[in-house]
């Protein structure tokens, strides 16, 4: 009898683990399945070097003594200006809400989402789909610094 009880618990644990493991996907706000993003896929340093420095800071908009929106995106900027900070334009939204890309105002601005204040960023152009996806994945992964 004791052997049966032990096997019962072994099987029960196996079923629970299998049922909770999932298939590595999650539903996005549009109802479509999305693959979960590893927290360390992109870092703030990569985003800054590959996107912000090229498209946002060195164009003069988000750099210098008086950056637009009081947001400097140059290579040595303080992450405290971006992550978990209320947007100047829509204070109910954070500029970057770690783990919540679709609720992050930065992503809305680069996508040109309806309801943003002023213009889509960056001014005078747009980011590529790959660059926007890189930002989305970074935010979805928790917006890691390193």
Q: Which tens digits make up the pLDDT trace of 7-48?
A: 555 444 444 444 444 444 444 444 544 444 444 577 888 888
Look up residue 83 and give its two tokens: 């992550």
Cβ distance 135 to 106 under 8 Å?
A: yes
For 29, phi then psi, to 5°, come to: -65, -20
77: pLDDT confidence band, cut at 50, 70 and 90? Answer: low
More confident residue, 14 or 1: 1
Question: What is the DSSP track for 85-145?
Answer: PBPSSSTTSBSB-TT-GGGBHHHHHHHT-TT-SS--SSTTS---HHHHHHHHHHHHTT---
Q: What is the pLDDT of residues 101-125, one digit of tens each?
A: 999 999 999 999 998 988 888 887 8
- Average pLDDT (69-80) is 73
More confident residue, 15 or 53: 53
For 63, phi then psi, to 5°, come to: -155, 175
Residue 124 Cα distances to 6, 127, 138, angstroms: 67, 10, 24
Q: What is the pLDDT of residue 132?
A: 93
What is the rounded distance in angstroms from the CA atom of residue 99 to the CA atom of residue 26?
13
Q: What is the largest CA-CA distance in the chain?
A: 77
Q: What is the pLDDT of residue 48?
A: 83
């Amino acid at each position: 009898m004791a052997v049966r009880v032990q096997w019962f618990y072994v099987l029960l644990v196996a079923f629970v683990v299998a049922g909770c493991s999932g298939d590595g996907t999650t539903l996005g706000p549009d109802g479509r399945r999305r693959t979960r993003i590893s927290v360390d896929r992109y870092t703030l340093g990569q985003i800054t070097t590959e996107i912000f420095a090229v498209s946002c800071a060195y164009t003069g908009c988000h750099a210098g003594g008086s950056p637009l929106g009081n947001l400097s995106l140059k290579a040595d900027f303080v992450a405290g200006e971006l992550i978990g900070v209320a947007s100047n334009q829509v204070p109910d939204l954070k500029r970057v809400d770690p783990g919540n890309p679709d609720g992050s105002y930065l992503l809305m601005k680069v996508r040109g989402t309806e309801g943003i204040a002023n213009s889509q960023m960056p001014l005078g152009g747009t980011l590529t789909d790959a660059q926007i996806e890189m930002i989305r994945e970074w935010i979805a992964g928790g917006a890691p610094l390193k």
